[in-house]
Chains A and B, each alone.
Chain A
């Protein structure tokens, strides 16, 4: 962090724990990320009216509003929203593994704030956004739409979300997840823990649908660094399987294996054009959100 940067740009899940209103939390996160960035909507030629502005030399004379000229005897150019809006599809992994908790915060807590912030960003930029909750062996969707009311519906749906079940097979997701619009971004927020390769299969299919695919992988610090000590019993949140081990003794092996597994997953995703950003529970939301914005900027 540079000395001149405001600290509230680095909002963490711990910071937001005291904010009960999810929309307010999302605004805090988005305002922090957007500080100093370009304003949200793009104005220009289009069908939907946006605003009037004074005629400037070089403007297309065809865009002068002649009726307003007749009334006010001044030249105004009629502006409309540019035709750059896209569809943002937010896939949220709400399976049992997202219940992994560190310092009192679960991965799902982190993901909830992140998805809310992404939705708010999309709403501010005039994009259509939809929510797809994946849990209990299926998917629950809130189809893409625009506007404040849709944002509230989405936030409300996020409020009472609980991590449960495991990742369903592709055939259970296909009908809901395959996009019907060619222009858009599909963002998967989750820990990408899979029993075999069910998540990568889903992402491969989504990448093939000409959508940009961004994976925001959320991991716990302890989980990533295997920061456990002494004799422990590890329990898989999705399968309930338990393993007794001496964490101190197997720590190095566990770290090495997890790193290998994550690297293989990243390679697999990037070969198919999907971006992967890893965020830790104790990290600010800025990193994954900036990755999203970078992707969004490609659409103009």
Chain B
């Protein structure tokens, strides 16, 4: 890993000494002269040593160039990681708390996309957040909190990327995540939980270009849900579900809630093995996992689907699997060894100069 990997593009300069070397190896000119008497005992041995020297010099020159380029790129290896984190996650305050909780539970260092990059705390007024969100300024701040060459993960709605400010020069790599990918999907499920009165309560979120709202919806049966005209959803939406513990009863309740809401939306729900890209994360907080017993009437109406043994158990979905797919973790920040390489390049350059300036082997 390198501090300034752009310098690696300069590796093309290695072609220069190679080209010069092969150019000098082109067929020699034949010059007819009157006498070679004064060149006796000199030519062959001298020329042969010259060629050997040429190869040595070529290798030295290649090594010098390679070391200079690598030195400027700043390779990082060995040693203990330095103080700053290798990555930082920024999330928009108007995103669901369930997502925030998921990321926190995954051990991510999270800051809010607000001036000063505060850590997640009490909910903020959406209107305030959305009017004053300085995206690029926040990214510049975050860049100083991450080691050079690190990564900044941004979870924000697409509208954030349409801000007209000028993008600052960042040392870090910025990875965008858009939890709500399509604004035509206005309705999505925050969480769902059963109630003791044979009904299910669901947190239904509505996302839009300016704000996100949540509504508690108590579902006794499909006839009591909002009208399908206002509860549209995109087909084939993939919902990642994660539960805090291995709790079969809880899993069943979640599945039940999903089916209730899906049916209310005029959609069908099915279980697929974990993994792959998902659109929305459904995080079941532990507080909602109270062990209430599901009513038999609901369980009978929406039975637990059967999956083949080779397709995995959909109830065992870890938090990591439930999160959106992300690239490989940023490398742990290691000491930059560029200076050592540049020093070595200097030494090799001096050696090359010494060899090339050495007088010929006069016979």
**Which residues of A are at the interface with B, using a C-beta cutoff of 8 A?**
97-101, 107, 191, 193-195, 219-220, 223, 228, 230-239, 241-246, 249-250, 253-254, 257-258, 260-261
Contact = CB atoms under 8 A, between A and B. Distances in A.
B37 A254 contact: no
Contacts of B35: 97, 191, 193-194, 236, 238
Interface string B6-34: 00000000000000000010001111111
A235 B32 CA distance: 5
A293 B154 CA distance: 100
A241 B29 CA distance: 15
Nearest to B362: A253
A193 B37 contact: yes
B46 interface: yes
Q: Which of A98, A234, A237, A260 has the most CB of B within 10 A?
A: A234
Q: Which of B24, B35, B46, B360 has the most CB of A within 10 A?
A: B35
A223 to B, nearest CB: 6
B33 A245 contact: no
A234 B24 contact: no
A243 B32 contact: no
Contact of B34 (A98, A231, A253): A98
Given A230-B24, A246-B46, 18 more contacts: A99-B32, A232-B29, A233-B30, A234-B31, A236-B33, A236-B35, A237-B32, A239-B36, A243-B36, A243-B39, A245-B42, A249-B46, A250-B39, A253-B42, A253-B362, A254-B38, A254-B39, A257-B42
7 contacts: A100-B34, A223-B33, A231-B24, A231-B28, A233-B28, A233-B29, A261-B38
A245 B38 CA distance: 13
Given A99-B32, A234-B33, A257 B44 contact: no
Contacts of B36: 234, 236, 239, 241, 243
A230 B27 CA distance: 11
Contacts of B340: none
B32 A101 contact: yes
Contacts of A234: 31-33, 36, 39, 43
B33 A237 contact: yes
Nearest to A190: B34
Contacts of B47: 243-246
A238 B33 CA distance: 9
B215 to A, nearest CB: 85
Q: Which of B34, B38, B39, B362 has the most CB of A within 10 A?
A: B34
B210 interface: no
B50 interface: yes
Given A101-B32, A228-B31, A232-B31, A258 B43 contact: no
A103 to B, nearest CB: 14
A230 B43 CA distance: 13
B32 A100 contact: yes
Contact of A195 (B24, B33, B37, B39): B37
Nearest to B25: A231
B254 to A, nearest CB: 80
Contacts of B50: 245-246, 249
A219 to B, nearest CB: 8
Given A232-B28, A232-B29, A253-B360, A245 B34 contact: no
B44 to A, nearest CB: 7
Top-8 shortest CB links A-B: A97-B34, A243-B43, A193-B35, A257-B38, A100-B34, A245-B43, A258-B38, A233-B28
Interface in B120-138: none
A194 B38 CA distance: 11
A169 B18 CA distance: 51
Given A97-B34, A250-B360, A245 B46 contact: yes
